[in-house]
Amino acid sequence: MNDNLASQYARDGFVAPIDIFSPDEIAGILVEIEEAEAKWGDALQGGGRNNAHYVLPVLDRIAHDPRMLDAVEALIGPDILVGGTTLFIKEPETEGFISWHQDARYMGLEPHNWVTAWLAVNDVDEENGCMRMMPGTHKSPLVEHVDTFDEDNMLTRGQTVSAVDESKAVPVIMKAGQLSLHHPRIVHGSGPNLSDRRRIGFAIQSYLGGDVEQQFGKIWAQQARGTKRGIAPVAPRPTEAMRAEDIAFRDLTNDELSKIFYKDAKKTGNW
Ligand SMILES: O=C(O)CCC(=O)C(=O)O
């Protein structure tokens, strides 16, 4: 299976769907996430969806689950760090979309021995705004992005690759509990949620190989496997939900991340 993952990833720049959590397990995860949202409201909205694995053990457990790490190891090797996460939630019948972009464009993480893992927490399809991938685009270098600051664009600066031939896009349709893995340079995006269902994705953005270094700004990372690390600052792991010190740490890392995302931008956006 691991050879297949690696060869598909090399060919297409993404692999999906990969079975990770059973229907019972992911149903339990969904309950935990929705209970946390109900209990802590604003603290898990907006910017609070970035790096929520620092404050919610359920998300920390997902990011460090051996089955997730086995799939990631097949692509980036045995030294694996968790560099950050995002809860990508699209509420029913909402306009939020994600424009065509390459993850590596603004992150400053080199070399590109890192991978974004996107776990479907509920079923995702074209109607509720699943991700769409442009296969093979990871083989080209980074391309120019235009900052649109579109208010419905869920990317920080609305960064967009123009001239994408959408007829070649592949929808990443997955059942709850399945995972996709995508390359830092693949062009991808997603449309709005036209359905009456939530669309909940938990992205580990990203898993970093032990040789990956940050070229500007500051990020923290947890060692998930192996010992080698190119990112020195060590991030703690939460032992209970929403402890004050964990929230303070998450907010600090999010402020620093925001500086990375907005480097050289003319203004800041809504996300
Ligand atoms: O959730 C989405 O639709 C897109 C997420 C994304 O761009 C990413 O995980 O790199």
Q: Which helix (H) or strand (E) holds 37?
A: helix 23-40
Please answer whether residues 127 and 184 qualify as being in contact, where contact means their C-beta atoms are separated by less than 8 angstroms: no
C-alpha–C-alpha distance, residues 194 and 52, integer Å: 26
Please give the C-alpha separations between residue 100 and each of 35, 112, 172, in angstroms, as whole numbers: 32, 19, 14
Please answer whether residues 148 and 91 qualify as being in contact, where contact means their C-beta atoms are separated by less than 8 angstroms: no
Taking only the tens place, the pLDDT of each residue in 138-197 is 999 998 887 877 788 887 777 788 888 999 999 999 999 999 999 999 999 999 999 999
Taking only the tens place, the pLDDT of each residue in 246-263 is 999 999 999 999 888 877
Taking only the tens place, the pLDDT of each residue in 213-240 is 999 999 999 999 999 999 999 999 999 9
Q: Is the CB of 190 within 6 Å of ligand 1? A: yes
Taking only the tens place, the pLDDT of each residue in 82-110 is 999 999 999 999 998 899 999 998 899 99
Whether residue 200 has pLDDT greater than 60: yes
- Find the 160 Cα to ligand 1 centroid distance in Å: 13
Q: Is the CB of 44 within 6 Å of ligand 1? A: no
Model pLDDT, residue 238: 98
Model pLDDT, residue 186: 97
Phi first, then psi, for residue 172 (nearest 5°) are -95, 85
Which is nearest to 55 in space by CA: 81, 28, 33? 33
Which is nearest to 201 in space by CA: 98, 82, 103, 66? 98
Q: Closest ligand 1 atom, CA of 182?
A: 10
Taking only the tens place, the pLDDT of each residue in 20-44 is 999 999 999 999 999 999 999 888 8
Please give the C-alpha separations between residue 198 and each of 4, 34, 127, in angstroms, as whole numbers: 32, 11, 11
- Asked if omega into 233 is within 30° of 0 (cis), the reply is no
Please answer whether residues 126 and 171 qualify as being in contact, where contact means their C-beta atoms are separated by less than 8 angstroms: yes
Query: Coil, strand, or helix at residue 168?
Result: helix
Taking only the tens place, the pLDDT of each residue in 121-144 is 999 999 999 999 999 999 999 988
Q: How many CB atoms lie within 10 A of CB 236?
A: 12
Model pLDDT, residue 268: 65
Does the model's pTM come out above 0.75?
A: yes
C-alpha–C-alpha distance, residues 208 and 174, integer Å: 24
Please answer whether residues 173 and 81 qualify as being in contact, where contact means their C-beta atoms are separated by less than 8 angstroms: no
Whether residue 16 has pLDDT greater than 80: yes
Model pLDDT, residue 271: 46
Any idea which fold 2-261 has? Answer: Jelly Rolls (2.60.120)
Q: Is the CB of 261 within 6 Å of ligand 1? A: no
Model pLDDT, residue 267: 63
What mean pLDDT value characterizes the chain?
93
- Find the 154 Cα to ligand 1 centroid distance in Å: 9
